[in-house]
A and B are shown apart, each in its own frame.
Chain A
Amino acid sequence: MEIVPKIHVRSRLREMLVRLTAYVTIVVALVVTLFPIYWIAANSFKFDIDIFAVPPEWVPKNPTLKHYDEAFIQRPFLRYALNSFLVAVGTTIVSVCFGTMAGYALARFSYPWQWRRQISFWILSTRMMPPIVSIIPLYLFFNYFDMLNTKSALIIAYTAFNLPFATWMMKSYFQDLPVELEEAAMVDGDTRWGAFLHVALPLARPGLAATAIFCLIISWNEFLLSLIITLTEQSQTLPIGIAGRVTQYNTYWGEISAAGFMACVPIVVFAFMVQKHLVRGLSLGAVKG
Chain B
Amino acid sequence: MASVTFKKVCKKFGEFVAVNNFTLEIRDKEFLVLLGPSGCGKTTTMRMVAGLEEATSGDIYIDADRINGVLPKYRDVAMVFQSYALYPHLTVEDNIGYPLKIRKVEPAERKRRIAEVARRVELDTMLSRLPKELSGGQRQRVALARAIVRTPRVFLMDEPLSNLDAKLRTQMRAELKHLQHELQVTTIYVTHDQIEAMTLAHRVAVMNKGVIEQLGTPREIYNDPRTLFVAGFIGSPPMNLIPGEVKEGIFNSAGFRVGGFARANISRAVLGVRPEDVHAAPVEDDDVNLVAPIYSVELTGENTLVSLRLGGQLMTLRADKNFTGQIDEQIGVKVATDRVFLYNGETQDRVDF
Taking beta carbons and an 8 Å cutoff, which residues of A are in contact with B? 178, 180-181, 183-191, 194, 199, 202-203, 282-289
Q: Are B89 and A285 in contact (CB under 8 A)?
A: no
Complex interface: stretch among B77-85, B120-128, B210-218: B77-85
Q: Are A178 and B83 in contact (CB under 8 A)?
A: yes
Q: With the chains together, A186 CA to B73 CA distance in Å?
A: 6
Q: Are A203 and B89 in contact (CB under 8 A)?
A: yes
B137 contacts the other chain (Cβ, under 8 Å)? yes
Q: A285-B130, A285-B131 are in contact. Are A186 and B72 (CB under 8 A)?
A: yes
Q: Are B84 and A190 in contact (CB under 8 A)?
A: no
Closest to B139 in A: A289
Q: A186-B51, A186-B52 are in contact. Are A285 and B77 (CB under 8 A)?
A: no
Top 7 nearest A-B pairs (CB, nearest first) are A289-B136, A285-B132, A287-B83, A286-B88, A184-B85, A180-B85, A189-B102
Q: Are A185 and B98 in contact (CB under 8 A)?
A: yes
Q: A181-B85, A187-B50 are in contact. Are A286 and B102 (CB under 8 A)?
A: no
Interface string of B69-100 (1 = CB under 8 A from A): 00111010111010111111100000000110
Q: Which of A188, A285, A289 makes the CB contact (< 8 A) with B88?
A: A285
Q: Are A199 and B87 in contact (CB under 8 A)?
A: yes
Within 8 A of A (CB), among B128-165: 130-133, 135-137, 139-140, 146, 156, 163-164
B167 contacts the other chain (Cβ, under 8 Å)? no
Give the shortest distance, in Å, between A289 (CB) and chain B (any CB).
3
Closest to B162 in A: A289
Q: Are A289 and B135 in contact (CB under 8 A)?
A: yes
Q: Are B102 and A190 in contact (CB under 8 A)?
A: yes
B residues near A282, Cβ cutoff 8 Å: 88-89
7 CB-based A-B contacts, threshold 8 Å = A180-B81, A183-B50, A183-B52, A184-B87, A187-B75, A285-B130, A286-B85
Closest to A285 in B: B132
Chain A contact surface mostly: loop
Give the shortest distance, in Å, between A92 (CB) and chain B (any CB).
23
Q: Are B137 and A289 in contact (CB under 8 A)?
A: yes
Q: Are B73 and A190 in contact (CB under 8 A)?
A: yes
Give the shortest distance, in Å, between B70 (CB) and chain A (any CB).
12
Q: Are A178 and B85 in contact (CB under 8 A)?
A: yes
A residues near B136, Cβ cutoff 8 Å: 288-289
Interface string of B27-61 (1 = CB under 8 A from A): 00000000000000000000000111000000000
Q: A187-B51, A188-B99, A194-B102 are in contact. Are A180 and B131 (CB under 8 A)?
A: no
Q: With the chains together, A218 CA to B340 CA distance in Å?
A: 76
Give the shortest distance, in Å, between A280 (CB) and chain B (any CB).
12
Q: A180-B85, A282-B89, A286-B86 are in contact. Are A187 and B72 (CB under 8 A)?
A: yes
Q: With the chains together, A186 CA to B74 CA distance in Å?
A: 10
Most buried by A among B86, B89, B156: B89
Give the shortest distance, in Å, between B121 (CB) and chain A (any CB).
15
Q: A181-B85, A181-B87, A286-B88 are in contact. Are A187 and B131 (CB under 8 A)?
A: no
Q: With the chains together, A181 CA to B52 CA distance in Å?
A: 12
Closest to A177 in B: B88
Q: A287-B83, A287-B85, A288-B83 are in contact. Are A187 and B52 (CB under 8 A)?
A: yes
Give the shortest distance, in Å, between B2 (CB) and chain A (any CB).
15
Q: With the chains together, A83 CA to B85 CA distance in Å?
A: 45
Q: With the chains together, A289 CA to B140 CA distance in Å?
A: 8
Q: With the chains together, A181 CA to B146 CA distance in Å?
A: 13
A residues near B130, Cβ cutoff 8 Å: 285
B residues near A187, Cβ cutoff 8 Å: 50-52, 72-73, 75, 77-79, 156
Q: With the chains together, A4 CA to B240 CA distance in Å?
A: 57
B residues near A287, Cβ cutoff 8 Å: 83-86
B residues near A285, Cβ cutoff 8 Å: 88, 130-133
A residues near B140, Cβ cutoff 8 Å: 289
Q: With the chains together, A186 CA to B81 CA distance in Å?
A: 13
Q: With the chains together, A289 CA to B83 CA distance in Å?
A: 8
Q: Are A284 and B71 in contact (CB under 8 A)?
A: no
Within 8 A of A (CB), among B262-312: none
Q: With the chains together, A265 CA to B140 CA distance in Å?
A: 48
Q: Are A189 and B99 in contact (CB under 8 A)?
A: yes
Most buried by B among A189, A190, A282, A288: A189
Within 8 A of A (CB), among B212-259: none
Closest to A289 in B: B136
Q: Which of B71, B78, B84 makes the CB contact (< 8 A) with A188?
A: B78
Q: Are B73 and A191 in contact (CB under 8 A)?
A: yes
Closest to A189 in B: B102
Q: Are B81 and A183 in contact (CB under 8 A)?
A: yes
Give the shortest distance, in Å, between B75 (CB) and chain A (any CB).
8
Closest to A191 in B: B73
Q: With the chains together, A283 CA to B132 CA distance in Å?
A: 9
Give the shortest distance, in Å, between B14 (CB) and chain A (any CB).
11
Give the shortest distance, in Å, between A110 (CB) and chain B (any CB).
10
